[in-house]
Structures are given as C-alpha cells and as structure tokens.
Amino acid sequence: MTDNLLLGPEAGINHSLALLRAEAFEKPVDPRVDLAANVFFSVDPEASVSGRIASAPGSLLSLQVIPHSPTRWISVHFQLGAADLRQVQMLGVICRAQAPKSVTFRLTLRSGVAGGFVDTLFRKTAVAYAEASVHLDLIDLSRDLSVPREAPWREVILNFDTSTIEVTLLNFGVFSI
C-alpha cells in the first residue's frame, strides 16, 4: 500500500499539539487560559491563585501554579471534538514531563452525553521527576463499556494536585488502535 494516510479520532488534537510545540508565549494564570486551538488551562474560578503558563519552541507547556486558597481543580484540557470511537479498540496517551520536585497528575477521558458528561479515568497516575520521564497509558475500550462510542464532544484532561505545581510538559500525544 502506498500513499496511505489514516486519520484516527486523535488527528485533530495531535495537529493542535504540533502547532503549540512551535509557539513561544508566557501568560498569567487565570480561571481559563486558551493555549492553542483545542487546548486550554483551567483552574477553580473561586480560588485565589497566581503563576504563569509558558511555551517555548520544542517544548509543550511549563506550568507554575501557586494556590493561595482552597482550590477544587487545576487542569489542562485537550479537546478531541466528536471523536468517533466505534472502530477503536484502545485509546491512549503518551506524555513526557519534567519537574524540579515530583509532581503527580491523573488523566481523564471526558465524553459529552445528553445532560452532561461521563468521565473515565486512565488507570495509572503520571509522575514527573527532576529527570524527564515518559508516561504511557490507555483505556481498553473492548473491556471498558462505560465509555460512549459516540459523543458530541470529548477531551483528555490532565488533573493536577491542588497544591503548588511546577511542571513542564515536554511532549504529549493521543493515539488509537
């Protein structure tokens, strides 16, 4: 087979991530900060927080978030649109991250449904260390029947601990099989 191009449900977000890796910016932390098409940072709007979000060519994002009051969430959202999973057996993520002090985060697949959404946690907790490390995880859709195969919208969410965070996401990608 020659000149074959397979575009899976992750093609749109991976394109947005490639564009983000080429960007350079620094922005203050706000309740919602749009970082690129289909990528945004979110923090509890009722919390008092400070910090910055930066991107440099060759790296994805550097986050520095300092909560000054109780904070319900700190997250980065990667929007997949209406990703059709009817022909997908596994949906996975790969992330390369680094942090001066260990930082943990959980990944969630959020699928829109009538009246709200369904969250499906990826199985592993990601950890960023002083030395760059890779996290790989997937949801086996052939076994996890709670994930709607069709949804009007989906996103993969990185949910960080609600304490002070300093982490660099060197790379991130979504894949399907």
Q: What CA–CA distance (Å, rounded) separates 21 from 43? A: 22
What is the mean predicted confidence (pLDDT) over 101-122? 97
Q: CB-side exposure of 127: number of CA atoms within 13 Å?
A: 6
Instruction: Note the residue count of the chain.
Output: 177
Model pTM score? 0.93
Q: What percent of the chain has pLDDT over 90?
A: 89
pLDDT, position 91? 96
Domains with residue ranges and CATH for the chain = 11-176 (2.60.120.260)
Q: What is the pLDDT of residues 41-67, one digit of tens each?
A: 999 999 999 999 999 988 999 999 999
Contacts of 150 (CB under 8 A, 6+ apart): 82, 84, 85, 86
- Separation in Å, CA 159 to CA 16, 88, 130: 20, 24, 20
Which pLDDT band holds residue 6 (cuts at 50, 70, 90)?
low
Q: What CA–CA distance (Å, rounded) separates 102 from 88? A: 33
Sheet with 32-36: list strands edge to edge.
32-36, 39-43, 74-81, 154-160, 103-113, 116-128
Q: What percent of the chain has pLDDT over 70?
A: 97
- Separation in Å, CA 89 to CA 52, 129, 138, 141, 147: 38, 31, 10, 5, 11
Q: Which helix (H) or strand (E) element contains residue 77?
A: strand 74-81
- Residue 28 neighbours by CB distance under 10 Å: 10
Positive or negative, the CA dihedral 148, 71, 127, 94 is: positive
